[in-house]
Chain A
Amino acid sequence: MLYLLLLLPLLPALHALREREAGRLASSTAAGALLSLGLALLVQNQAAGPLRLDGVGLFYLLLTDLLFALVALYARAYFQATKDREAWRFYAAGNLFLFAVHGAYLAHNLGLLWIFVEGSTLASALLVYHKGGTRALEATWKYLMLGSVGIALGLIGVILLYALLGGATLDWQEARVLVREANPTQLQLAFAFLLVGFGTKVGLFPLHAWLPDAHSEAPSPASALLSGTLLNVAFYALLRYVALLGSAGLFDFAAGLLQGFGLASLLAAGFFLFVQRDYKRLLAYSSMEHMGLAAYGLGLGVPWLAMLHTLFHSLAKTAAFLSAGNLLLAYQSKLIARVGAVQRVWPATAGLLLLSLLTLAGLPPFGLFYTEFQALFRSSPLSMGLYLLGLLGAFAGLLWPLSRMVFGEGDGMSFETSPRSRTLVVVPAVLVGLSLLLGLFPPVAVVERLAEVLAWKL
């Protein structure tokens, strides 16, 4: 059954090779993703070969399948509006990507996890490239090169760890027992490589260089997938490795690094947000900010908090990128200056953009407010100051350009026509609604239970 769940996304991928009509592809893709979602609920806690679906894997798998199904539906309307006759590329690459992500969450083996994470980099490079053009080509090249080097450093970490376990096993559960015998200094070395490797993919400062380019040059539905699902895959790997280090009694070492990288990403993102003139890059830097916050939360030793943060971030960021996609359709420009008066010309999109960005800025009553507050509450006094400074910077950097776009007039604004497909609004609305609901009733108990496998001591 686990193998079925693993291979399920390949069916719509194969379908995309033969079928060119985007409507039918959207249906088969969404159906495939929803089917995997149901199947995942049925097979939790099962094991087969190197695969096992435990709580953390299930959490991220459900989130990914849900987002993927919604984005597939949105993409149908989006590509219709751009009159893109090659939308099948999106569905083919997207389903390959989903296959790699399924593999990563199902793999209960350090090596296999690495293989699927690298696979997700390759598949998502195809998503970024889509149809090409000079800028997309440059972004894809940068992404492929930086991503591959980063993940190769991660592989060094995997190899060192495997050697430290005596070459006996790559299974997570066995590793957590064996790791207690390992040499602590060398374990720290291995973890440094793993953090740099997977951290590159998470987009932690200063390893983030590929992120804003890839996210802004990809077609909007693909950007949504990159921010909402791809970053989580690498973060999930970090969650696992930090837990492993915890079992070896080295959590403090990992915590210092994670808090440092997390705060640095937060502060750097806050700075970059201020100098952006492109609203998709703005959202990309906001992803860097939130992954930094999640890393920080993990460094505080509260895995469920980090998981909850990535959940809220994924929902809100996907909604934000899809709303940004609507802006791109209507104004034909990614420049903030060329977008204005959205609330007058397309009120539904303006509302969704506003709500999703208020969520991302961490305002109550949305979920990110809850997790950010919880993290603040657990911080030490020194990092508390930096943390607040970063949050404040990101808050202003995000909301100031937004208010100009929604309420301002925009200089040289070039409004074309707003496409009137209802899906373009309904999908982000569902996401915003979900994010609001979960923010009002944060599912702490559920996530805590799912995160049990990550308990620092075993």
Chain B
Amino acid sequence: MVGRKSLDALIRLYALQSMLLALLAFVLAEGEQHFVLAGMALLLLKGVLIPRYLFWLLERLGVSHEVESYLSIPLSLLLGGVLVGVGFRVGSAFVLEGARLPEAVPVALSLILLGMLSMVSRKKAVTQVLGFLALENGVFLLALAETHGLPLFIELGVALDAFAAVVLAGVLISRIRAIFDHIDTARMRDLKG
């Protein structure tokens, strides 16, 4: 995710990642109904609806699909690698007794850190949203790995919040485009101190 130059590829990667997560939820569900339901909701919301919304938004705004970063690609890859290393190094401290899928904990941590890296290193507002979504997926993976997954109504509530946040961000991005004629958050710097 940190090395890609095209936004379309990023969104598709996110959709793929969400679908894989949903698959994992199905596997871990062992036929228990409410986990299957949570997995389906995830699949629909994060695998289909959010990516479609983002594509629609890019189309409507007519901005270039190129990812602009403060960092060069080699440097972001290097930093990404370092963060994954950190995720794996400290991961063991995060594995709780009775964790369901201890191997996934460092992966989840790395995903969270990579999401943060994309949020701070990218200039375009859409890419920051994608970073946040990756972070959110990391948190979901952590929940799957540590526990039997959160209770269904909590899971749905969390997903709903994420969806509302993305829609709200989309509205703001449209407004940024309309007022500034770009969606470059690096150039929004009136507020200081």
Partners in one complex: yes
* Most chain A CB within a 10 A radius of its CB, from B97, B125, B172, B176: B172
CB distance from B193 to the nearest CB of A (A): 6
CB <8 Å contact, A134 and B190: yes
* Interface magnitude class on chain B: 35 or more
CB distance from A200 to the nearest CB of B (A): 13
Closest to B148 in A: A167
CB <8 Å contact, A140 and B96: no
A152 CA to B136 CA in the complex, in Å? 7
Closest to A119 in B: B161
CB <8 Å contact, A141 and B188: yes
Q: Is A369 an interface residue (CB 8 A)?
A: no
CB distance from A146 to the nearest CB of B (A): 10
B16-31 residues with Cβ-Cβ distance < 8 A to A are none
Q: Is B10 an interface residue (CB 8 A)?
A: no
Q: Is A156 an interface residue (CB 8 A)?
A: yes
Whether A170 touches B154, Cβ cut-off 8 Å, given contacts A183-B97, A281-B193, is yes
Closest to B185 in A: A141
CB <8 Å contact, B139 and A152: yes
CB <8 Å contact, A137 and B154: no
CB distance from B102 to the nearest CB of A (A): 11
Closest to B96 in A: A163
Interface string of A138-172 (1 = CB under 8 A from B): 11111011001100100110011011101100100
* Most chain A CB within a 10 A radius of its CB, from B112, B143, B147, B191: B191
CB distance from B84 to the nearest CB of A (A): 17
A129 CA to B132 CA in the complex, in Å? 20
Closest to B188 in A: A138
Q: Is B175 an interface residue (CB 8 A)?
A: yes
Whether A276 touches B161, Cβ cut-off 8 Å, given contacts A132-B179, A159-B139, A162-B147, is no
Interface string of B98-140 (1 = CB under 8 A from A): 1100000000000010001001000001001000100110010
CB <8 Å contact, B191 and A189: no
Whether A163 touches B193, Cβ cut-off 8 Å, given contacts A144-B165, A149-B119, A189-B94, is no
Q: Is B169 an interface residue (CB 8 A)?
A: yes
Q: Is A372 an interface residue (CB 8 A)?
A: no
CB <8 Å contact, B172 and A149: no
CB <8 Å contact, B119 and A135: no
Residue numbers in B under 8 Å from A50 (CB-CB): 153
Q: Is B168 an interface residue (CB 8 A)?
A: yes
Residue numbers in B under 8 Å from A119 (CB-CB): 161, 164
Q: Is B142 an interface residue (CB 8 A)?
A: yes
Residue numbers in B under 8 Å from A156 (CB-CB): 112, 139, 142
Residue numbers in A under 8 Å from B125 (CB-CB): 141
Q: Is A118 an interface residue (CB 8 A)?
A: yes
A279 CA to B150 CA in the complex, in Å? 44
Q: Is B71 an interface residue (CB 8 A)?
A: no
A189 CA to B188 CA in the complex, in Å? 36
CB <8 Å contact, A155 and B190: no
CB <8 Å contact, B147 and A159: yes
Interface string of B55-70 (1 = CB under 8 A from A): 0000000000000000
Residue numbers in B under 8 Å from A152 (CB-CB): 132, 135-136, 139
Q: In the complex, which of the residues B96, B147, B158 contacts A186, with contact meaning CB atoms closer than 8 Å?
A: B96
Q: Is A11 an interface residue (CB 8 A)?
A: no
CB <8 Å contact, B98 and A163: yes
CB <8 Å contact, A166 and B98: yes
CB distance from A203 to the nearest CB of B (A): 15
Q: Is B74 an interface residue (CB 8 A)?
A: no
CB <8 Å contact, A111 and B191: no
Whether A138 touches B158, Cβ cut-off 8 Å, given contacts A125-B168, A152-B139, A159-B146, is no
Residue numbers in A under 8 Å from B153 (CB-CB): 50, 112
Q: In the complex, which of the residues A111, A137, A141, A281 contacts B151, with contact meaning CB atoms closer than 8 Å?
A: A111
CB <8 Å contact, B158 and A134: no
CB distance from B54 to the nearest CB of A (A): 16
Residue numbers in A under 8 Å from B151 (CB-CB): 111, 170
Closest to A272 in B: B193
CB <8 Å contact, A148 and B165: yes
CB <8 Å contact, B132 and A138: no
A155 CA to B159 CA in the complex, in Å? 12
A189 CA to B165 CA in the complex, in Å? 27
Interface string of A167-202 (1 = CB under 8 A from B): 100100000000000010010010000000000000
A212 CA to B161 CA in the complex, in Å? 24
CB <8 Å contact, B147 and A167: yes
Residue numbers in B under 8 Å from A109 (CB-CB): 154
User: Would you mind naming 13 contact pairs between A and B with Cβ atoms under 8 Å apart?
Assistant: A111-B154, A112-B157, A114-B158, A115-B160, A122-B165, A132-B175, A141-B125, A145-B119, A156-B142, A159-B142, A160-B94, A170-B150, A212-B191
Interface residues of B (CB under 8 A from A): 93-94, 96-99, 112, 116, 119, 125, 128, 132, 135-136, 139, 142-143, 146-148, 150-151, 153-154, 157-158, 160-161, 164-165, 168-169, 172, 175-176, 179-180, 185, 188-191, 193
Interface residues of A (CB under 8 A from B): 50, 109, 111-112, 114-115, 118-119, 122, 125-126, 129, 132-135, 137-142, 144-145, 148-149, 152, 155-156, 159-160, 162-164, 166-167, 170, 183, 186, 189, 212-213, 216-217, 272, 275-276, 281
Apart from A144-B165, A156-B139, A159-B143, what are 10 other A-B pairs with CB-CB below 8 Å?
A50-B153, A111-B151, A115-B158, A118-B165, A119-B161, A138-B189, A141-B176, A159-B146, A162-B150, A163-B146
